[in-house]
Structure 1
């Protein structure tokens, strides 16, 4: 049984991970959190102490580390005795942290695909550009590496696998829908790292349709969705991590990702992009200063973690999967609804961070217990979804299914 967890990162998602690890430290053992700025880690530990999240008395220590330095991360893993690393830092550090885990024989997980700071990595299949190149090394070292185990990617991948295993004989389409029907009260803000948020939407929108990659522009394809709890919402087809791995497994199904956007967000985004402020390439000011426009925009926008206290409303994220069952056409919507206020009251974070931060802790528990300690690299759809969904039900993200039989909770006992 694996024990002792090292969390990489100190943002809003890391705060959720820290609280949830603390709530399950009877299983996960000693806890450590590291980022470039140790004081941010100290603040998160203070939040854990304030909420009295530790289930049993135990260790929770902070550390400073440059997560882009593989040797430094490997040294920290050895120093802490961590057997599980939960990487919720910027996607720029994925490969260096993964390499450190392979070197030290430590289980690894992340919540987003790797990116390089100086380019928009938008050419399918994204995982094959970086992470999947380490499959052989993981298997040779006996290292469990679970990729993209946030909510989307992550839980939605498990929902697709659940539809395959439980509800359909043949899948013809998987539409992942992500709606945030909440309000943070700010003029303009992003729900997670603005730099990563904008990078997702400045490149080509890729979807998998009719057995090949289809290209669209951002906000080119939109439709209204009528969803449980949040009602009718407009969402636009967007490029997203899980499309690239699901398309690899479900080659005969169309795979698309849809995200909800209000008109105000689209207007501000369009202006910023049109005048070059979302570029990741450096420019030189009249004063001779070299700056990256995207990083300047990030610096002036609210920190996503600061949105939590006043956030209200709910999220609805799920998979609408169509296909056939017993020779008849059918569809099933597998989903979760989360509440921003409830998330803040429990862990001090808003609902977007909560939905991203709970799943990697569930995965860590499954690795610790052996259920998901597969000793190789895997995306979430490669793994049995039942223990994952059961655990998520218990620790804060309950799953429901809506089909011809009605709308009901999903629980495998």
Structure 2
């Protein structure tokens, strides 16, 4: 039996989610998409219809919604008969949407950790500051909430779990995210600039030797020879998945590494040095209060506008190191995505594609019961095999590289 879906958000990731839900609406049923800007939702609906993405006949509707209004969100969930909510709006919405799902008694999925507009890099583990405080409520009601089920966090959490299951002991999980694509702009971010910069302006928290370690952005780097994209330098960064994997997998070292070009680092450094990446309000000479980070966001290209001219590929995966049968072993479990292929299929660039496909796979598993956890979980707490199998089928194939070679991963 299919389960109807409400998508909250109308950016590039939401566009991918809508297309993929439509392509699998025999499992996911009727689809509603809602955001503050109705026209953006209508554009996504038009895009889905233009590409003939609906697998079977069904409803695909657009709605205007302020998702910070819990009552309004509850009303829309009930009006649309939605049983699964996929939240791909701004990270500031998570707790409000979660509250609405608890009240309406439906499943909740998101792709990023909750943030408060005036706070950056709160004390780790970040999930304990907000989401995990609601876990008992989901469990008491027998409702499923799957946190951070994009790619990173999300798929990389499943890769970490898979790597741990493959080895006898695990010493470290190092998540590496490289975008070797080119959008042709002087400077732009691949997703919401405000959220993007907030990741990199605060403390870089990593989990090392079973304890939290603090570093500055761009302080620690590594270079790896990666499949398809070649030799790439990445920098240790603070990121959501470190804050759940460190608590759930019992691994001594969990780190996240992201690739940045020299040009990005230079522009970022100038903006930060001038105070233009601050989330705290300032007063202009005209007496107008502004938040510098929001001004920068307003003048940068909309990430969804990058899609038509984006070329190149991404490579995102996990190096999992430990022992097997008494011998040291390291595996690299990864995915490679192509920006142009993503645009041709769903009208979004590869970063949005990798973030938007996984929550649809998770929603399908909730609908069929395989991931209907009936409590709040992070992805690594679930069986990764059915998740990887669906991802293989709907656009994000998984591969593994180790001493035995480079090969696809499947559990069919």
When the two structures are superposed, what TM-score results if normalisation uses the length of structure 2?
0.99
Is the deviation greater in 242-251 or in 185-194?
242-251
CA contact (8 A) 1:2 1:83 kept: no
Does the residue aligned with 2:21 lie in a helix, a strand or coil?
A: helix
Question: What per-residue deviation string (whole Å, max 9, x for no partner) do you get for residues 349-386 of structure 1?
Answer: 00000000000000000000010011100000000000
Question: What per-residue deviation string (whole Å, max 9, x for no partner) do you get for residues 260-286 of structure 1?
Answer: 000000000000001100001111111
Does the residue aligned with 2:118 lie in a helix, a strand or coil?
A: coil
Does the residue aligned with 2:57 lie in a helix, a strand or coil?
A: coil
Show the 5 A alignment for 1:134-213. 134-165=134-165, 167-213=166-212
Q: Partners of 1:315 and 1:249 in 2: how far apart?
A: 27
CA contact (8 A) 2:145 2:375 kept: yes
- Structure 2 residue aligned with 1:116: 116
- Structure 2 residue aligned with 1:366: 365
Is the deviation greater in 83-92 or in 64-73?
64-73
Show the 5 A alignment for 1:394-409. 394-409=393-408
Q: Partners of 1:285 and 1:397 in 2: how far apart?
A: 47
CA contact (8 A) 1:174 1:255 kept: yes
- Structure 2 residue aligned with 1:267: 266
- Structure 1 residue aligned with 2:89: 89
C-alpha displacement of 1:328: 0.8
C-alpha displacement of 1:2: 5.5
C-alpha displacement of 1:121: 3.6
Question: What per-residue deviation string (whole Å, max 9, x for no partner) do you get for residues 242-263 of structure 1?
Answer: 0000000233420000000000
Q: Partners of 2:27 and 2:330 in 1: how far apart?
A: 38
Runs of at least 5 residues in structure 1 that lack an aligned partner in the other structure: none
- Structure 1 residue aligned with 2:252: 253
- Structure 2 residue aligned with 1:129: 129
- Structure 2 residue aligned with 1:321: 320
- Structure 1 residue aligned with 2:290: 291
Q: Partners of 1:223 and 1:374 in 2: how far apart?
A: 37
Count the aligned residue pairs. 412
- Runs (4+) of structure 1 exceeding 4 A deviation are none
Q: Partners of 1:69 and 1:148 in 2: how far apart?
A: 22
Does the residue aligned with 2:116 lie in a helix, a strand or coil?
A: coil
Does the residue aligned with 2:174 lie in a helix, a strand or coil?
A: strand
When the two structures are superposed, what TM-score results if normalisation uses the length of structure 1?
0.99
Does the residue aligned with 2:153 lie in a helix, a strand or coil?
A: coil
C-alpha displacement of 1:64: 0.7
Is the deviation greater in 246-255 or in 403-412?
246-255
- Structure 2 residue aligned with 1:37: 37
Does the residue aligned with 1:100 lie in a helix, a strand or coil?
A: helix
